[in-house]
Each structure stands twice: as C-alpha cells, then as structure tokens.
Chains A and B, each alone.
Chain A
Amino acid sequence: MSDQENVPPAAPAAPTAPTAPAAPSGPPSAPRPRSSGPGGGGDRGDRGDRGGRPPRDDRGGGAPGGGPGGPGGRKGKRQFFRKRKVCRFCVDKVDFIDYKKAEMLHQFVQDRGKILPRRMTGTCSRHQRWLCEAIKRARNIALLPFASEL
C-alpha cells in the first residue's frame, strides 16, 4: 500500500507536464492531499488559520474527503477541494485511440511502464478501455515498454 502511494505523485507529474494546461492540474491535485507532500502541509496550515472550531472541522472534512469534490454541508469549511478530473479523450472527442502515437500513450504509463489507473488520470471507463488496448498493442511492437529496466 505504501508503495502505491509513493509511486503515483511522482508518476502523474511527469506524464502530464507536457500536455495542455487544463488536464495536468487534475491528476496531481488528487494524490497530493493523501500523501504527506507539500499539498498536505498547506491544507493543515489553512485549517489552523481558520481554526475556530477545530474538532468540528475535522469531522466535516473527514466525511466528504472520501468523495472527490463532494459538496458537503459547509463549503466554506472545506480547505481544499479536489479539482474534478475530466477525461482528456472526452474533451478532445476522441473516437479511436491510435496505438502508433507512442508519445501520447507515454503520458498514461508510469515510469516503469505500468498503465496508470483511471483514478490518477481521470480517464472515463470507455476511453480507459480503449487506451488499455492501445497501450498493449504499442507494447507488442516495441513502441512502449512492458517493464522498463532501471
């Protein structure tokens, strides 16, 4: 479990960096609150500033924290809200994911070659299915690694 938490924050930052500005902000914002990275620290600091009722705050934050961007009861009390991730392929209205575009597929693969899960990239289920297929085809013809040696 700790392994999984360690990998994602690093992985999405690399693949999303060269893309359009709208999409990258989605993936990295999700892992940060969970990990003990800079984002988590900032959240805690914010809470301290408004800490009129810290115990209540924790309760309020705990419940909707599970769901991404859940409205919750009190919007003002939510210190961060996860930016809703949108499927990049739906935005671009992609009907076919080309396995030959290795550069593009590279964004949806971790450094070691694993396919990034939907929760990291925000891809919708249909496009994830297509993407998965395309990545596997690209792997077969040596455009993408099965597992990159490091």
Chain B
Amino acid sequence: MEERLYDLIFILRPATPEEEIAKLTHTLEQVISEHHGKIEKQENWGTKRLAYRVSKHREGIFIYLSLKSTDGEMVKELERRLKVAEPVIKYQTIRLDEEMKLQKKLVARREKKIARRPRRQAPPAAAAPAPAGEQPSATPAT
C-alpha cells in the first residue's frame, strides 16, 4: 500500500493535567511507531472554545497530529485507544493524501500555464525595456 497522509485531531477535557497529555501522546507515538508510521507534525492548540457542547464541556484542549503511514490498521488502533482513553472527549481522523495529490496536480498545472505565458508576452516586453535601457545609459555617457 502506498503511503497515506492522515490528520488526527483529538480533544481532551480542559482540566487534563500536562503529565496525562504527555502520557497519552507517548502511547500514541508508540502505536504509530509500531505500525511504521511517521509523525509529520504535532501541535498542541491549547484550550479552545468548542462550537457546541461535547459531553457537557464547552472548552477543550485540542491536539493535532499529521501522520503518514502505509498501514491502515494504525488508524484503527489509534482510534480504539482514543476511544478508551478517559480524558479524550472527541477525536477525528481524516485521510488527506488524495486531496494533497489533487492540490499538487493543480499547482503543477498552474505553474505550467505560467511558464507558458511569458513566451507570448516576452517579445514585446523584451523589446520595450531594451531601448529604454539604452537611452538612459547613453545620456550619462555623453
């Protein structure tokens, strides 16, 4: 299986102590390494207001992980762990590699287009500055 990119966000209860967060992320890291995954990015967004109540909480600590893996079982295991973990109130995993592929394709297409465009505009553009450049250089010389 080719490598896939996932976004994993989970929300913890606002009262979760730092050590517990560290413990949880550590276990997650272990799971990821067991399945030969890679952590591309890890961010702690801190305590944020939730848009709606989640298990009676209005705020939560957001933790964001960007993962790369070839093993789909990894996500399954991570979600199972998050489900079991007591401080976690919500989590979401999203597969993003297909969208990134599309994005790369679109960027490449646009760059190609831009690269093609100057050829049409180049002759007049090159012709215009050339005489303009000669004149100023000629006046100081004389």
Contacts and interface: CB of A to CB of B under 8 A. Distances in A.
A, B: real partners? yes
Interface residues of A, number: 17
A141 B110 contact: no
Given A95-B102, A95-B103, A137-B92, A142 B110 contact: no
Contacts of A95: 102-103, 106-107
B51 interface: yes
A107 B50 CA distance: 17
Contact of A141 (B90, B106, B107): B90
B6 interface: no
Interface of B: 7, 9, 11, 50-52, 54, 60, 64, 90, 92, 94, 99-100, 102-103, 106-107, 110
Interface of A: 93, 95-96, 99-100, 102, 137, 139-146, 148-149
A148 to B, nearest CB: 7
B106 A142 contact: no
Contact of A142 (B60, B94, B107): B60
A9 to B, nearest CB: 24
Contacts of A149: 52
A139 B103 CA distance: 23
B103 A141 contact: no
Given A93-B110, A137-B92, A137-B94, A142 B52 contact: yes
12 contacts: A95-B103, A95-B106, A102-B51, A137-B92, A139-B51, A141-B90, A142-B51, A142-B52, A142-B90, A145-B51, A145-B52, A149-B52
